[in-house]
Amino acid sequence: MRLTIGQKLTLSFATAVAILLATAVVSYRNTRELLRTTDAVAHSQQVLSALDGVARAASDAEAQVRGHVLVGGGAYRDGFRASAAEAQRHVDVLRLHSSVDRSLAAASDTLAVQLKGRLAILASIMKARDRAGVEAGARLLVATDTAAARHSLPELIGALRSREGERLRVRSAAAHEGADRADFILRFGILLVLVLAPLAFLIVRNDFVTRLAGEAALAETEARFRAAADGSLDAFYVLRALRDGAGAVLDFEFVDVNARAESLLGHARDDVLGQRLCELVPANRSEGFFDKYRLVMETGAVLEEEFEVTSRDYRAAWIHHQVVPLPDGVAITSRDITERKRQEEALRALSLVDELTGLYNRRGFLTLAQQQLKLARRSQRELVLLFIDMDDFKEINDTFGHNEGDIALTRAAGILRHTFRDSDIIARLGGDEFVVLATDTGETGSEIVVNRLRRELFERNTRDGYPYRLSFSVGAARFDPEAPPSIEELLATADAMLYEQKKHKRQTAPSMA
């Protein structure tokens, strides 16, 4: 039923009045609760103040007794009496508040008894001092200081303070919550009034919106959608199912495509519309995409996947597409991700390869070496690990500069590549340290590869004509499949041998150049 303007105004006004009345009732209840909570907070604050007064007066009384024991005279006695009276006054205040708090009544009585007992003991100490002198008073004072009775009063006061402090915290939190709630209710009521007034105006104004304006907006939306679809980087297809007499899906027909889809298919939009999917792109049937699209339409499940393009019908190497069911067909969004896949592959390679030399880095070496050790263990094949360190690399850097140092590292990498086989794993661990995991063919395998490296190094130094000579120190370790060590153990063994060789070189003369 369509409401008139007057009915809508009346309904809006009635709604606003009902909301304001409900807000007033909630606000009244919240105010009463806030007043009760505020009274409880004030009660807790007064109890804490009284407890502080008892503790302070009791402490002053003990101080007066100590002064009397040490000095004597009537001034400390008068001070003691005043402190005792002050403590009793605060206890009376506690008893007054206990009339509205039953849990406080018993604690107040216990506190009064303990305070009275403690004051009696202190008074007896003063009398003992007056009768028997300073020493007698001091002995009695020391005796009472060590007695448990002296500590029971402060402990009781501390327990009462902790309990009342917690109650004050809870009550204060409740008071703050009540105040916040009252503020929220007030703001909410004002906000509702401010919202309902323009809302009523908008509801009435909506009656004057003509159907022509709605149709114009719809036409504009369709135009924007077409512009957005054609400007999208994703290819967009709408396919309608083609069925036989029994209702089985035989193929799909292109109903709509955007500009990006034209680019991927290599056909203009007018040439594609009305064409059958599997006739225009036969790979859709041979590679199973037709069956996937039909399953999406039948089950209503969205399909999203990435796949490598093997057909020449598409101008892309990798495609990511999403297939959404329609009442009698599917809508497909496809994106050319060829460049992304290339970048991912490049990043994957960079994560395992040293940028300067093109050899494997530490991560790449450890990854491949672990696999090689597993294969060698299964095939009972021996391997040799060489740990190689460039001699006098620091002097090359210092004398010829860091650019020449990078060239020296690159030359060293080239020598290692030329010396070892493609099946061997060659890596730069960092700085001027290299490592090679080579296949061993006998007990003298490590000697063979080291001598081969020595010859290649000598030929390069002789032929290249650089103002410095490259020199290596080499440590070797053998992988025995009968007692297979880990890659870390192989590195440690080769590193130890390398250290001994460098130590020997420092003591004598370089042996590899």
Mean pLDDT, consecutive 10-residue stretches, the chain (513 aa), reads 63 72 73 72 77 82 79 80 85 74 72 79 81 77 62 70 74 70 72 69 63 69 68 83 91 90 84 90 87 92 86 74 91 85 70 90 92 90 93 92 94 94 91 89 68 91 89 92 93 94 78 41
pLDDT of residue 507: 79
Position 292 scores a pLDDT of 92
Residue 214 lies inside a defined structural domain of this protein: no
How far, in Å, CA of 226 to CA of 475, rounded? 69
On whether both 305 and 426 belong to a single domain, the answer is: no
For the chain, how many residues are written? 513
- What integer pLDDT is reported at residue 437 of this predicted model? 94
Point out the domain boundary residue: 125, 156, 190.
190
Q: What pLDDT does residue 511 have?
A: 43
Query: How many domains in the chain?
Result: 3
One domain for residues 448 and 302? no
468: left (phi over 0), alpha (psi -120 to 50) or beta: beta
299 in the same domain as 174: no
CATH of residue 334:
3.30.450.20
Q: Are residues 426 and 334 in the same domain?
A: no
Pair 370, 501 in one domain: yes
| 512 in a structural domain | no
Residue 446: the pLDDT is: 75
Which stretches of 285-339 are assigned E, i.e. beta strand? 303-308, 318-326, 329-336
DSSP at 440: -
> Which tokens sit at 284?
């859709």
Same domain assignment for residues 11 and 79: yes
**CA dist., res. 131 & res. 45, Å (int):** 44
Cβ atoms of residues 386 and 446 within 8 Å: yes
pLDDT score for 9: 63
Output the pLDDT for position 389.
95
Cα–Cα dist 427/379, whole Å: 24
pLDDT at 330: 93
306 and 406 both lie in a single domain: no
Domain boundaries, position 92 = 5-190
Q: H/E element holding 238?
A: strand 235-243
CA–CA separation, 166 and 161 (whole Å): 8
Cα 168 from Cα 48, distance rounded (Å): 9
Question: Looking at the domain assignment, is residue 58 inside a domain?
Answer: yes
Structure tokens at 346: 């490049």
Instruction: Please give the backbone phi and psi of residue 323, each rounded to the nearest 5 degrees, phi first.
Output: -115, 120
Answer yes or no: do 254 and 121 share one domain: no
> Would 92 be classed as within a structural domain?
yes
Residue 219 lies in a domain: no
9 and 136 belong to one structural domain: yes
State residue 445's pLDDT score. 64
Tell me which of 158, 190, 222 is where a domain ends: 190
- Complete DSSP assignment for 260-281: HHHHHHTS-HHHHTT-BHHHH-
Residue 366: half-sphere exposure toward Cβ, Cα within 13 Å: 8
Q: What is the CATH number of the domain that holds 451?
A: 3.30.70.270
Q: How far is 18 from 51, CA to CA, in rounded Å?
A: 50
